[in-house]
Amino acid sequence: MSAADERRQAVLRAIVADYIASQEPVGSKSLVERHNMQVSSATIRNDMAVLEQQGYISQTHASSGRIPTEAGYRAFVDALHDVKPLSAAERRAILEFLEDGVDLEDVLRRSVRLLSQLTNQAAVVQLPTLTVSRVKHCEVVELTPTRLLLVLITDAGRVDQRNVDLAAPIGDNGVRGLRDVLNEALVGKHMREASAALARVSTNAPPHLADAAARAAEVLITTLVDATPDRLIIAGSSNLLVPSGGLQDVIDALEQQVVVLKLLAGAQELERVSVRIGRENEDEELSSASIVTTAYGAGDAALGGLGVVGPTHMDYPGTMQKVATVARYISRILRGE
């Protein structure tokens, strides 16, 4: 790469960084003064003309400075080899805040609230689906003599609760027996794999528990196996309503969830942060936004996606680092570290 090309890359990085900071067009004189370019304003203007010709920056009108295009942001992100790490105090504060969560869903709710506050953007996280996690335990609790609470716990820390109504009381011994029957069918299996075992559970149960087992199995199959919608937790949507022109289409897409779920479903690699900028997003609703996503999980398995949604002029280095750090700490908590 020639010295001129290297200098133009530095000019592009400076324009993107300054525009992200100010949302004001960037001129050649301010670049020379702020970034110690060691060349004249005339040379910088020539570099800017080349960058504009290459499609990396644009000019709103003849006498204005330049602003980055989507191609300019992409070049900037692709050149980010080293993202400045968070300070030890920041990392400790994040971990302590997340560790106070009472269960996985609480940890994930805390995560999106925290990411939204740290980035001043909208944050989203996908709860782990039962199709990718295994059943760790099924607890059965008697609420009334003829109503039971089924509590399903997965190895990902997800907890789902369902009520089941009985035709007749089964007593304490019956509750314990039903718990054993359900755990024998479920423990260690993905919910999809457990479907066939649940369908047979009433025939495998002792005769006096057959009806209760059938009712419990029906509730689990219809509400958790056959209907396992991905769920999103969203925080900070209001951050996208800025005075300079809000991202209402993006907010609508967040509320619909389907579009964002598709993006998060693509986040399957732990420790890998993905950035989609503007029209790189296939869905029209997100064509004016940038999305930074990664995965969290236990061991080598990704259990869900986590991300931040904001304008194309977002702080990419800071956002990428914060998304990666929060996802890493969720994974640590899942592993019990």
Cβ-contact 305, 267 below 8 angstroms: yes
The closest of 324, 297, 296 to 155, measured between CA atoms, is 297
Tokens found for residue 20: 């992200």
Phi, psi of 15 (to 5 degrees): -60, -45
Which amino acid, one-letter code, is at 67?
I
Q: How far is CA 183 from the centre of its chain?
A: 31
- Please state the rounded mean pLDDT for residues 82-108: 81
- 284: region left, alpha or beta (phi > 0 left; psi from -120 to 50 alpha): alpha
CATH 3.40.50.2300 assigned to domain 135-225? The reply is no
Lowest-confidence region among 110-124, 167-181, 248-262:
248-262
pLDDT at 326: 92
Name the β-bridge partners of 122. 309
- Angle in degrees, CA 176, 154, 234, rounded to 5: 130
Tokens 């996280």 identify what position?
125
Q: For residue 157, give every residue at least 6 positions away whose Cβ sits within 8 Å of its Cβ, in sequence order, or none.
A: 103, 104, 107, 128, 334
Write the pLDDT tens digit of every residue in 43-88: 888 988 899 999 998 987 766 788 999 999 999 998 887 667 788 8
pLDDT digits (tens, 9 = 90+) for 228-261: 445 788 888 888 876 544 577 777 777 776 777 7
Helix axes 3-22 and 41-53, enclosed angle (nearest 10): 90
pLDDT score, position 225: 59
Integer distance in angstroms from the first to the last C-alpha of the chain? 45
Q: What is the pLDDT of residue 204?
A: 83
The length of the chain, given as a count of residues:
337
The CATH number of 88-128+230-334 is 3.30.450.40
Residue 265 has a pLDDT of 72
CATH architecture of the domain with residue range 3-78: Orthogonal Bundle (1.10)
What predicted TM-score, i.e. pTM, was given to this entire model?
0.73
Q: Residue 20: which residues within 8 A CB-CB, separation 6 or more? A: 313, 314, 315, 316
Asked if 160 contacts 138 with a C-beta cutoff of 8 angstroms, the reply is: no
Residue 317 CB partners (closer than 8 Å, separation 6+): 80, 83, 84
Give, in order, the Cα–Cα distances in Å from 188 to each of 156, 192, 201, 204, 293. Answer: 12, 12, 16, 18, 30
Confidence band, pLDDT 50/70/90 cuts, at residue 105: confident
Q: Under 8 Å CB-to-CB from 9, ≥6 apart: which residues?
A: 75, 79
Q: What is the pLDDT of residue 228?
A: 47
The DSSP element (H or E) to which 311 belongs, if any, is strand 301-311
Exposed e or buried b for every residue in 248-269, given b needs 16+ CB within 10 A? Answer: ebbbebbeebebbbebbeebbe
**Cβ distance 111 to 94 under 8 Å?**
no
**pLDDT value of position 132:** 63
For the chain, the structural domain boundaries read 3-78, 88-128+230-334, 135-225
